[in-house]
Amino acid sequence: MLPRLTLAAILSCLAAPLLHAEEPAWMGTLERISTGVVSIRVDSTRSFDTEWNASSQATGFVVDAERGLILTNRHVVTPGPVVAEAVFLNSEEVTLTPVYRDPVHDFGFFRYDPKDLHYIKPAELPLAPGAAVVGREIRVVGNDAGEKLSILAGTLARLDRDAPDYGLGEYNDFNTFYIQAASSTSGGSSGSPVIDIAGNVVALNAGANGAAATSFFLPLDRVQRALKLIRDGQPITRGTLQAVFVHKAYDELRRLGLSEPSEARVREARPKETGMLVVNEVVPQSPADGKLQPGDILLEVDGQLITAFVPLAEILDGSVGDTVAVELERGGEHVTARVPVTDLHSITPHAYLEFGGGVVNDLSYQQSRHYNRPISGVYVADPGYMLSRAGIPRDALITEIDGTRVRNIDDLAKALSGLADGDRATLRYAVMNDPRNTLVHSVQMDRTWFPARRCVRDDETGTWPCTDLPQAARTAEREHGSTEFPTYSDKRINKIVPSLVMVNFDLPYAISGVSDRHYYGTGLVVDAGRGYVLVDRNTVPVAMGDVSITFAGSLEVKGRVEYVHPLHNLAIVSYDPQAIGDTPVKSAEFTVRQPVPGDRVWVVGLKADHQLVHQATVVASVDPLNLPLSRTLRFRDSNLEVISLVNDPINPDGVLIDERGRVAGSWSSFGYQTDNDSGQVSLGIGSELISEFVNQVRSGEPIHSLEAELAYTPLFEAREYGVSEEWLDTLEDHNPRGRRALRVTRTVAASSADKLLRSGDILLAVEGRPVSSYRELERAVQEPEVEATVWRNGKALDLTVETAVLDGTGIERAVCWAGALLQKPHRAMATQRGIDPSGVYVAYFSYGSPATRYGLYAGRRIVAVDGHPTENLQEFIDAVSGKQDRASVRLKTITWNGAVEVITLKLDNQYWPAYEIRRTEDGWRRVDIG
């Protein structure tokens, strides 16, 4: 026999105060029913219809202990794919399988296997719809605000409240009354039983208005019917006229045209009723369209007088596929019609397409009401990478592809199956806030970064098995045309124009601290023979992504990332010179003279619409760059002097040219982050550094780095630090105008400099030669090791420091596992925060995944799996390969500030299979990890 849980044991589990729980009758009731109330952990694994992918907690309660049936809300079971677990009062955990989610009303059922419970015999809570009466004292028992179990008191105030309105595009219940009470429920209490003192469930908690401390409960009439059908193994038929009804009081009904005879008849037959049902919405092109109209007052259905929602639902649920006779009053006129009854399940999506990182499903009855459109077309639940790249948002309704009508996801799947990776198609769509107007955008098919598949709900298993979409054979690259550059009256502008292009960069995954997906900026052709284009790292922040290059606002070609400067705000992308035909592109000409304050220069760049802008200005100053540390540990430039202008142009990035049209520097966008915000600032980088960078990329020579960040210190301040007069004289003679020294501010973790140099050291010389500028130092350390002379604690020290060899490949592989994106720790971590670059870095996590559920958040490093060290990605892959679905994994993690935490995580290989993204000679490739 199972041990009986005492009231004291129950009360010890309660995480919130019990209101009035000291009353003896309530104490006995709560003790009797509490074992049947469960906390539900819900992972909505995909955005679907009205719901986002998310991880949350809710409440449910056992309504059939023998069959393992748990009642909760529809928005907990969700209309889409879900993974859920229930935790009972004694902390036993069971896996839940979704059994039913109502198409309209906010209730649904999960099932668990009763054999999985070993230490508790849960109470079965009886449903009592008729026990809900105004003035009845109730208790809401559930997982309120994420607590394990709480009990809130209240009194039923209304039984005929309108269903709560959660807003445009959100899930909204309709064609039902709601019950109202003041009980102040909050997040996590969704699905809680509302019980009376006898322990009967009189309603289902569904929502709340926090501002008014008001709770909204769903009546149980239709819930009770559904439960009986499930127990009997029968399908739950649900019928609809594709019309929304609202309840109106008699005073308003008269204004709508209710005749006196009709009112008298209804009042006599229903003396306790205070109103009747009125048509509020009719779905366009539905069977009821033209037969029912908004404002119609409902009198009878199939000869039965109807004044409330439940009798109407009973008739419609029993008439699916048939027609019903409807009698109405319209503006005082008597109207009759026969209206077909639609199967509600047939207009509720049960499948989705997943492609390009996004999710789409058939337009649902729920959403067609918001659009006021027929139930036809494909709804964008999550645009993901591919659709957002084309500017198509969530809540878009796709109606055509390449001129062919799209009625459902089958139509769209057929069209997408005819597209190979990189092929383009034209989508026509509408948006919810402007449903009558349509927009047209060109999209580029993605088969590289994300899978393309169709997933269908299996009601036997509760899962959504997927099948890959067929892929068309890749066609030969289409021939690109040629274009001409416009001419201008200014000879300087005409000289630089053939070297300017627009670069677009799209990032499929948030990686290396970079979370934004889409970037653009002006590029400078620096080697027309190789197709090299210089950009800043606020245009191409990382090496992983898709590049397109546009010439003269007319000709767009595909590009690739060649090199990302590891130290400075520069990158080089490339295009195939054969792809642009006879387009007269020219390599930019650089001037060797570096800009100084007072020089007259011209800023030339391209706006987002590809229009050229130019502006004459004057160099204001050349100053050391000082950007704040990045909140997300993304790249941040340092050890650099940048050019400021007297009157900065507002719009473009681009280049600085001299009076002869030669490039004197770039006009680059520098991204930065503060604690609470992100921004960008435009500053110039001199042509000397740019020319050196281009030559390094051409030659393949590595970049050596001292791996220390430094700041300029005036010589008078160096004297205060105790630097000897001899060294001060040497530095002053070396740079009589600057009169400064270099002071170490931080070192890169795990580098030679990190072991030898200290913050506050004054760097005097490298290889015996004095250095007092960033560029001097950068050029002086281009050897495997150097002898650095520093002033520390009153004396000069000679230190042999190994330099780091850096390349421009950046991230070359990443792993998607359990919904987390994992990568090698990137350099910015070690540079900005001194984080040891060992282990596996969590760059991003997807909502609704195990990573979210178990707290594997971005910014952590995984250093061990089940006790096995994981010093790098390959060791991590080896450690997790072969683990089965729902297997538990123990992860040792380290946070950004060095705190060690152990996380246990349960895998979900169904919705979050592991795969690797790797850069190859032929580009990026996605490979499944077995």
Structure confidence at residue 16 (pLDDT)? 37
276: three-class secondary structure by DSSP: strand
What are the two backbone dihedrals, phi and then psi, of residue 819, each rounded to the nearest 5 degrees? 85, 0
Among 106, 144, 395, 506, the active-site one is: 106
Structure confidence at residue 346 (pLDDT)? 96
What are the two backbone dihedrals, phi and then psi, of residue 898, each rounded to the nearest 5 degrees? 95, 0
Dihedral sign for Cα atoms in the order 167, 172, 175, 178: negative
Please give the torsion angle defined by the CA atoms of residues 312, 317, 319 and 323, in that order, rounded to the nearest 10 degrees.
Answer: 50
421 is annotated as an active-site residue = no
189 is annotated as an active-site residue = yes
Q: What secondary structure does DSSP assign to 350-390, as a single string? A: -EEEEETTEEEEEPPHHHHHHHTS-S-SEEEEE-HHHHHHT
Alpha-carbon distance of 449 to 351, in angstroms, equals 22
In this predicted model, what pLDDT tens digit does every residue of 93-132 receive, in sequence order? 999 999 999 999 999 999 999 999 999 999 999 999 999 9
- DSSP β-ladder status, 466-468 and 453-456: antiparallel
Extended strands (E) in 65-219 = 69-72, 82-87, 93-101, 108-111, 137-142, 150-162, 177-181, 193-195, 201-209, 214-218
For residue 371, give both structure tokens.
């659009």
Among 75, 105, 480, 614, the active-site one is: 75
For residue 643, give both structure tokens.
């050019």
Alpha-carbon distance of 6 to 21, in angstroms, equals 15
Alpha-carbon distance of 302 to 320, in angstroms, equals 14
Cβ neighbours of 123 (radius 10 Å):
19
User: Measured between alpha carbons, how far is residue 504 from residues 241, 440, 519, 539, 565 in Å?
Assistant: 49, 20, 6, 7, 18
Q: Write out residues in the chain with pLDDT < 70, as ranges.
A: 1-23, 144-148, 183-188, 208-213, 475-479
Structure confidence at residue 4 (pLDDT)? 35
**650 DSSP 8-state letter:** S
**595 DSSP 8-state letter:** P
Structure confidence at residue 474 (pLDDT)? 73
The kind and range of the H/E element at 131 are: none
Closest C-alpha among 386, 380, 340, 388 to residue 364: 380
Q: Please state the pTM of the whole predicted model.
A: 0.91
Structure confidence at residue 8 (pLDDT)? 36
162 is annotated as an active-site residue = no
Alpha-carbon distance of 488 to 422, in angstroms, equals 35
In sequence order, the 6+-apart residues with CB closer than 8 A to the CB of 650 are: none
Among 34, 47, 56, 189, the active-site one is: 189
In this predicted model, what pLDDT tens digit does every residue of 481-524 receive, in sequence order? 899 999 999 999 999 999 999 999 999 999 999 989 999 999 99
Contact 676, 687 (CB under 8 A): no
Three-state helix/strand/coil letters over 530-569: CCEEEECCCCCCCCCCEEEEEECCCEEEEEEEEEECCCCC
Closest C-alpha among 768, 706, 776, 767 to residue 741: 776
